[in-house]
Amino acid sequence: MGWKDKLNDTRAGLRNLNSAIPDAARAFAGLGKAVKEGGTLDYKTKEFVALGISVAARCEPCISLHIEALIKAGASREEVADVLAMCLQMGGGPSLMYAAKALECYDELVA
């Protein structure tokens, strides 16, 4: 299964969950909006942080969502790769494997 399919499946799963728990889903969405729009860091920088956490937590659905957000924010492949290098320094071997997945996701979704 390719990253585009994984992204579609993730969105379908989230829609299903959101319909089951609408109040909690709205609250979580509000938190996301507040942290992405407020503060001193720009949106792209915050998405880079989220990507790093996604790799460290080994969350493939998170990787796909944050890579897509970074593409929309204008992140270059080189910027993504630089963040992934920092993930390697912090997370060692397991982060290496998920950093490879994140770059593969970027390459597929940007095409």
Q: Kindly report, residue by residue over 49-68, the tens digit of the pLDDT.
A: 999 999 999 999 999 999 99
- For the chain, what's the residue count? 111
Mean pLDDT in residue range 78-103: 91
Cα separation values, 78 from 6, 54, 63, 74, 104, Å: 23, 18, 17, 11, 13
Q: What is the pLDDT of residue 48?
A: 97
What is the CATH number for 36? 1.20.1290.10
- Per-residue confidence (pLDDT) for residue 10, from 0 to 100: 96
Binning pLDDT at 50, 70 and 90, where does residue 30 land? very high
Give the pLDDT score at 52: 95
The whole domain housing 11 covers 3-110
Average pLDDT of the residues in 20-34: 95
Gap between the Cα atoms of 97 and 84, Å rounded? 10
Residue 35: what pLDDT? Answer: 93
pLDDT higher than threshold 90 for residue 1: no
Q: How far apart are CA 95 and CA 25, in angstroms?
A: 29
Tell whether the model's pLDDT for residue 105 goes beyond 90: yes
**Domain tally, the chain:** 1
Confidence of residue 92 (pLDDT cuts 50, 70, 90): confident
